[in-house]
Amino acid sequence: MLEKKKLNRLNELARKSKVEPLTETELVEQQALRNEYLENFRKGFRDQLDHIHLVDKDWQ
């Protein structure tokens, strides 16, 4: 999971981008935070999928 501070910053940049254009530095920061967020999300999702076990009572 992304640190609360980083997640807040990502949300702050997203809100700001709706009102005014972001600076080049802010765009780079936003992309880095998005990449980190997505990497963590995918890892967590993959971990969930790896621990799913299907049980079929009729299958033998």
Selection from 36, 39, 31, 35 nearest residue 14 by Cα: 31
Is pLDDT at 1 greater than 90 in this prediction?
no
Q: What are phi and psi of 2, to 5 degrees?
A: -70, 140
In angstroms, the CA 13 to CA 47 distance is 29
Q: Where are the domains of the chain?
A: 1-37
pTM: 0.80
Query: For the chain, how far is it from start to end, CA to CA, in angstroms?
Result: 39
Selection from 58, 31, 29, 43 nearest residue 1 by Cα: 43
Mean pLDDT for the chain overall: 93
Q: What is the pLDDT of residues 9-33, one digit of tens each?
A: 999 999 999 999 999 999 999 999 9
